[in-house]
């Protein structure tokens, strides 16, 4: 199987999993250890990663599917009048938080490639009467947006799902205004995952199998041309034995727990330099 075919299959699998999650009630998704099609859909992994949004201004219960791993809007230094872009906007949770911060004079854009999620987000925005939020269908590796459109880019537990993270950061650089910044929450690794986890669709959709090494993640950001790269928050994700044992034998579970591997959520901020038009000098992204 060639790389392009494999990447397309990964994207199709993720899209199908998120379409299933979008089809169930938000309360059910937040409260249950099981996803849209029963236990083992990956949603139970999400529930141990998600942070509590309920105290943030602009929070909308119907838009919170419990699928994040951080609070990127809390660290994004969003100002009134800003244009904010949310990558992998889902049912609109982070968009509605951002909208409260940008006010009537600002604008919020969301992009997602799952039609079912977009329908939820647009229905939520219409119900709330928000006219300065727009949702687009598209692949964040190749966004249907013009250059320099955003003051701030946010994303919550999405980039780990994308096969080519380098392409996403190049696109983030492109759509940010010079001098603008991003705040992204994501899952990263220190150490090795069990090899067979790469074949488990549920763990890929649950943000585990697609995660890369923390140092590599930060290096991609720097090589994409960003500066002032800073980890704003980090937390270790502990996967309970009840989940591990769905995919590993008892011996494999014990070996993994003793391996020193760490699965972490990080929220990272970085800035597009004020000068220049290209994210890479010749040869820097080879």
Q: What is the pLDDT along the chain (286 residues), one digit of tens a residue?
A: 455 555 676 667 676 677 777 776 555 444 333 333 333 444 444 455 566 666 677 767 777 777 788 899 999 999 999 999 999 999 999 999 999 999 999 999 999 999 999 999 999 999 999 889 999 999 999 999 999 999 999 999 899 888 889 999 999 999 999 999 999 999 998 988 877 676 654 554 455 667 889 999 999 999 999 999 999 999 988 888 888 888 788 898 888 889 888 988 999 999 999 975 544 433 444 3
Cα 166–chain centre separation: 14
Is residue 198 within 8 Å of residue 6, measured between CB atoms? no
pLDDT at position 173 is 98
- C-alpha torsion angle, residues 133, 95, 165, 151 (rounded to 10): 70
pLDDT at position 245 is 82
Please choose, from the candidates 204, 214, 209, 222, the residue with its C-alpha nearest in 3D space to the C-alpha of residue 166.
222
pLDDT at position 16 is 67
Euclidean distance between CA atoms 187 and 208, whole angstroms: 7
pLDDT at position 216 is 96
pLDDT at position 24 is 65
> Which H, E and C letters describe the chain, residue by residue?
CCHHHHHHHHHHHHHHHHHHHHCCCHHHHHHCCCECCECCCCHHHHHCCCCCCCCCCCCCHHHCCCCCCCCHHHHCCCCCCCEEEEECCCCCHHHHHHHHHHCCCCEEEEEECCHHHHHHHHHHHHHHCCCCEEEEECECCECCCCCCCEEEEEEECCHHHCCCHHHHHHHHHHHEEEEEEEEEEEEEEECCCCHHHHHCHHHHHCCCCCCEEHHHHHHHHHHCCCEEEEEEEEEEECCCHHHHHHHCCHHHHHHHHCCCCEEEEEEEEEECCCCCCCCCCCCCCC
Is residue 239 within 8 Å of residue 265, measured between CB atoms? no
Euclidean distance between CA atoms 5 and 109, whole angstroms: 30
Please choose, from the candidates 13, 15, 16, the residue with its C-alpha nearest in 3D space to the C-alpha of residue 140.
15
Backbone φ, ψ for residue 61 (5° rounding)? -60, -40
pLDDT at position 119 is 94
Euclidean distance between CA atoms 192 and 263, whole angstroms: 10
Euclidean distance between CA atoms 33 and 117, whole angstroms: 20
Is residue 87 within 8 Å of residue 171, measured between CB atoms? no
pLDDT at position 201 is 45
Is residue 80 within 8 Å of residue 58, measured between CB atoms? no
Q: Residues in the chain, how many? A: 286
pLDDT at position 249 is 86
């Amino acid at each position: 199987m060639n790389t392009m075919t494999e990447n397309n299959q990964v994207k199709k699998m993720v899209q199908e999993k998120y379409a299933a999650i979008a089809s169930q009630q938000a309360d059910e998704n937040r409260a249950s250890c099981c996803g849209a099609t029963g236990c083992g859909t990956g949603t139970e992994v999400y529930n141990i990663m998600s942070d509590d949004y309920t105290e943030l201004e602009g929070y909308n219960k119907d838009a919170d599917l419990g699928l994040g791993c951080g609070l990127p809007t809390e660290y994004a230094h969003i100002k009134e009048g800003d244009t904010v872009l949310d990558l992998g906007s889902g049912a609109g949770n982070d968009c509605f938080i951002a909208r409260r911060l940008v006010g009537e004079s600002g604008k919020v854009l969301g992009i997602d490639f799952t039609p079912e999620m977009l329908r939820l987000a647009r229905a939520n925005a219409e119900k709330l009467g928000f006219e300065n939020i727009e949702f687009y269908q598209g692949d964040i590796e190749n966004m249907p947006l013009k250059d320099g459109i955003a003051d701030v880019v946010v994303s919550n537990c999405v980039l780990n799902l994308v096969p080519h993270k380098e392409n996403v950061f190049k696109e983030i650089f492109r759509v940010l205004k010079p001098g603008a910044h991003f705040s992204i929450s994501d899952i990263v690794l220190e150490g090795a995952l069990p090899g067979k986890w790469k074949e488990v669709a549920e763990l890929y959709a649950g943000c585990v199998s697609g995660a890369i090494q923390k140092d590599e993640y930060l290096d991609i950001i720097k090589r994409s041309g960003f500066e002032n790269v800073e980890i704003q928050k980090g937390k270790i994700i502990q996967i309970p034995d009840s989940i591990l044992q769905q995919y590993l034998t008892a011996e494999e579970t014990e070996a993994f727990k003793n391996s020193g591997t760490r699965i972490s959520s990080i929220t990272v901020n970085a800035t597009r330099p004020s000068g220049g038009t290209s994210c890479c000098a010749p040869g820097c992204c080879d």
